[in-house]
Protein backbone atom coordinates (compact mmCIF):
# COMPACT_ATOMS: atom_id res chain seq x y z
CA UNK A 1 0.00 0.00 0.00
CA UNK A 2 1.45 3.34 -1.06
CA UNK A 3 -1.29 5.63 0.10
CA UNK A 4 -4.30 5.53 2.39
CA UNK A 5 -7.51 7.41 3.03
CA UNK A 6 -8.37 7.42 6.73
CA UNK A 7 -11.74 8.54 7.98
CA UNK A 8 -13.13 9.62 11.34
CA UNK A 9 -16.90 9.31 11.15
CA UNK A 10 -19.59 8.79 13.73
CA UNK A 11 -22.77 8.77 11.63
CA UNK A 12 -21.44 7.99 8.15
CA UNK A 13 -21.07 11.21 6.17
CA UNK A 14 -17.26 11.43 6.43
CA UNK A 15 -17.12 7.69 5.69
CA UNK A 16 -19.24 8.11 2.56
CA UNK A 17 -16.96 10.88 1.28
CA UNK A 18 -13.92 8.68 2.03
CA UNK A 19 -15.41 5.73 0.17
CA UNK A 20 -16.30 7.86 -2.83
CA UNK A 21 -12.80 9.37 -2.88
CA UNK A 22 -11.41 5.85 -2.67
CA UNK A 23 -13.47 4.88 -5.72
CA UNK A 24 -12.21 7.89 -7.66
CA UNK A 25 -8.53 7.51 -6.74
CA UNK A 26 -8.10 3.75 -6.16
CA UNK A 27 -6.63 4.49 -2.75
CA UNK A 28 -8.02 2.23 0.00
CA UNK A 29 -10.19 3.88 2.66
CA UNK A 30 -10.23 2.66 6.28
CA UNK A 31 -11.43 4.01 9.58
CA UNK A 32 -8.76 5.82 11.61
CA UNK A 33 -9.27 3.12 14.23
CA UNK A 34 -7.81 0.61 11.77
CA UNK A 35 -5.04 2.84 10.44
CA UNK A 36 -1.98 0.96 9.17
CA UNK A 37 1.51 2.22 10.14
CA UNK A 38 1.85 5.55 8.33
CA UNK A 39 5.63 5.91 8.16
CA UNK A 40 6.06 4.10 4.82
CA UNK A 41 3.13 5.68 3.00
CA UNK A 42 3.46 8.34 0.31
CA UNK A 43 0.11 10.05 0.70
CA UNK A 44 -2.11 10.10 3.75
CA UNK A 45 -5.57 11.58 3.33
CA UNK A 46 -7.52 12.16 6.53
CA UNK A 47 -11.26 12.84 6.21
CA UNK A 48 -12.78 13.63 9.58
CA UNK A 49 -16.12 14.89 10.87
CA UNK A 50 -16.15 18.04 13.00
CA UNK A 51 -17.38 17.67 16.55
CA UNK A 52 -17.32 20.86 18.64
CA UNK A 53 -14.60 22.21 16.38
CA UNK A 54 -12.36 19.13 16.56
CA UNK A 55 -11.76 16.65 13.73
CA UNK A 56 -12.81 13.20 14.95
CA UNK A 57 -9.79 10.94 15.50
CA UNK A 58 -7.22 13.27 13.96
CA UNK A 59 -5.17 14.10 17.04
CA UNK A 60 -5.02 10.44 18.05
CA UNK A 61 -3.98 9.36 14.55
CA UNK A 62 -1.20 11.91 14.14
CA UNK A 63 0.11 11.71 17.69
CA UNK A 64 3.65 10.43 17.78
CA UNK A 65 3.83 10.33 13.98
CA UNK A 66 6.75 11.95 12.32
CA UNK A 67 6.41 12.57 8.62
CA UNK A 68 9.31 12.30 6.21
CA UNK A 69 9.97 14.94 3.56
CA UNK A 70 8.56 12.71 0.82
CA UNK A 71 5.23 12.10 2.55
CA UNK A 72 2.10 14.06 1.76
CA UNK A 73 -0.69 14.86 4.16
CA UNK A 74 -4.15 15.92 3.03
CA UNK A 75 -6.66 16.87 5.73
CA UNK A 76 -10.36 17.12 4.90
CA UNK A 77 -12.95 18.29 7.42
CA UNK A 78 -16.65 17.39 7.17
CA UNK A 79 -19.08 19.62 9.06
CA UNK A 80 -22.47 21.21 9.03
CA UNK A 81 -21.27 24.79 8.65
CA UNK A 82 -20.99 25.93 5.01
CA UNK A 83 -17.27 26.05 4.10
CA UNK A 84 -17.99 28.48 1.26
CA UNK A 85 -18.41 31.11 3.97
CA UNK A 86 -15.01 32.57 4.90
CA UNK A 87 -15.83 32.93 8.60
CA UNK A 88 -16.59 29.20 8.82
CA UNK A 89 -13.36 28.24 7.05
CA UNK A 90 -11.38 30.47 9.38
CA UNK A 91 -13.01 28.97 12.46
CA UNK A 92 -12.33 25.43 11.27
CA UNK A 93 -8.73 26.22 10.42
CA UNK A 94 -8.07 27.97 13.72
CA UNK A 95 -9.39 24.95 15.61
CA UNK A 96 -7.39 22.59 13.38
CA UNK A 97 -4.17 24.44 14.13
CA UNK A 98 -4.73 23.80 17.83
CA UNK A 99 -5.27 20.09 17.19
CA UNK A 100 -2.12 19.14 15.35
CA UNK A 101 1.54 20.20 15.57
CA UNK A 102 2.40 23.36 13.60
CA UNK A 103 4.99 21.44 11.57
CA UNK A 104 2.28 19.04 10.31
CA UNK A 105 -0.34 21.73 9.77
CA UNK A 106 2.15 23.77 7.76
CA UNK A 107 2.72 21.00 5.26
CA UNK A 108 -0.85 19.69 4.99
CA UNK A 109 -3.21 20.49 2.15
CA UNK A 110 -6.48 21.35 3.90
CA UNK A 111 -9.99 21.06 2.43
CA UNK A 112 -13.50 21.43 3.84
CA UNK A 113 -16.64 19.51 2.90
CA UNK A 114 -20.21 19.80 4.05
CA UNK A 115 -21.85 16.86 5.80
CA UNK A 116 -25.21 15.82 7.11
CA UNK A 117 -27.16 15.53 10.33
CA UNK A 118 -30.16 13.50 11.39
CA UNK A 119 -31.32 14.37 14.89
CA UNK A 120 -33.26 11.10 15.15
CA UNK A 121 -30.03 9.16 14.74
CA UNK A 122 -27.96 11.16 17.24
CA UNK A 123 -26.70 9.56 20.44
CA UNK A 124 -28.21 10.84 23.65
CA UNK A 125 -24.95 12.63 24.47
CA UNK A 126 -24.85 14.41 21.12
CA UNK A 127 -28.54 15.29 21.27
CA UNK A 128 -28.01 16.78 24.72
CA UNK A 129 -25.02 18.80 23.53
CA UNK A 130 -27.01 20.20 20.63
CA UNK A 131 -29.98 20.97 22.89
CA UNK A 132 -27.73 22.94 25.25
CA UNK A 133 -26.19 24.86 22.36
CA UNK A 134 -29.61 25.52 20.89
CA UNK A 135 -30.91 26.83 24.19
CA UNK A 136 -27.94 29.14 24.70
CA UNK A 137 -28.33 30.53 21.16
CA UNK A 138 -32.05 31.06 21.65
CA UNK A 139 -31.22 33.42 24.48
CA UNK A 140 -29.23 35.63 22.12
CA UNK A 141 -30.66 37.72 19.34
CA UNK A 142 -30.19 36.34 15.81
CA UNK A 143 -27.81 39.22 14.98
CA UNK A 144 -25.37 37.86 17.51
CA UNK A 145 -25.16 34.43 15.87
CA UNK A 146 -22.14 33.66 13.76
CA UNK A 147 -22.46 31.60 10.58
CA UNK A 148 -21.92 28.30 12.42
CA UNK A 149 -24.61 29.22 14.93
CA UNK A 150 -26.96 30.04 12.09
CA UNK A 151 -26.36 26.63 10.45
CA UNK A 152 -27.10 24.92 13.75
CA UNK A 153 -30.29 26.89 14.31
CA UNK A 154 -31.56 26.28 10.79
CA UNK A 155 -31.09 22.52 11.00
CA UNK A 156 -31.91 21.99 14.68
CA UNK A 157 -34.09 18.94 15.29
CA UNK A 158 -34.26 18.09 11.59
CA UNK A 159 -32.65 15.87 9.03
CA UNK A 160 -30.37 17.81 6.70
CA UNK A 161 -27.96 16.49 4.10
CA UNK A 162 -25.56 18.90 2.42
CA UNK A 163 -23.11 16.25 1.24
CA UNK A 164 -22.09 16.68 -2.38
CA UNK A 165 -19.60 14.32 -4.01
CA UNK A 166 -18.84 16.95 -6.67
CA UNK A 167 -17.02 18.89 -3.94
CA UNK A 168 -14.40 16.10 -3.86
CA UNK A 169 -13.05 17.25 -7.24
CA UNK A 170 -10.33 19.64 -5.93
CA UNK A 171 -9.21 16.90 -3.51
CA UNK A 172 -8.92 14.35 -6.34
CA UNK A 173 -6.91 16.92 -8.30
CA UNK A 174 -4.63 17.52 -5.32
CA UNK A 175 -4.00 13.79 -4.87
CA UNK A 176 -3.54 12.98 -8.55
CA UNK A 177 -1.72 16.15 -9.51
CA UNK A 178 1.36 15.33 -7.45
CA UNK A 179 1.47 11.61 -7.95
CA UNK A 180 1.53 11.66 -11.74
Ligand X SMILES: Cc1cc2nc3c(=O)[nH]c(=O)nc-3n(C[C@H](O)[C@H](O)[C@H](O)COP(=O)(O)O)c2cc1C
Residues contributing to the site for ligand X (CB under 6 A): 9-15, 49-53, 78-81, 115-117, 122, 126, 129-130, 148
Residue nearest to ligand X (CB): 115
**Residue 47 or residue 67: which is nearer to ligand X going by CB?**
47
Nearer to ligand X, 76 or 80 (CB): 80
Q: Which is nearer to ligand X, 10 or 134 (by Cβ)?
A: 10
Question: CA 69 to CA 107: how far, in whole Å?
Answer: 10
Q: Which is nearer to ligand X, 52 or 102 (CB)?
A: 52
CA within 13 Å, CB half, 125:
3
- In the complex, the smallest distance separating the C-beta of residue 180 from ligand X, rounded to whole angstroms, is 30
Pairing verdict, β 29-31 and 3-8: parallel
CB of 51 to ligand X, least distance (A): 5
Please report how close the Cβ of residue 151 comes to ligand X at its closest, in angstroms: 7
Shortest distance in whole angstroms from residue 102 CB to ligand X: 21
113 to 83, 96, 128, 161, 164: CA distances (angstroms): 7, 14, 25, 12, 8
Q: Which residues contact 63 (CB under 8 A, 6 or more apart)?
A: none
Are 154 and 116 contacting, i.e. CB atoms less than 8 angstroms apart? Answer: no
Amino acid sequence: MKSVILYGSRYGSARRYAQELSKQTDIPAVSYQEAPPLSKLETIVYIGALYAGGVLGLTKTLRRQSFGEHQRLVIVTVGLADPDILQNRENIRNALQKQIPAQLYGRAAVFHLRGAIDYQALSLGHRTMMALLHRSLQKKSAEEWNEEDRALMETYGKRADFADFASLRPIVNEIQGDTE
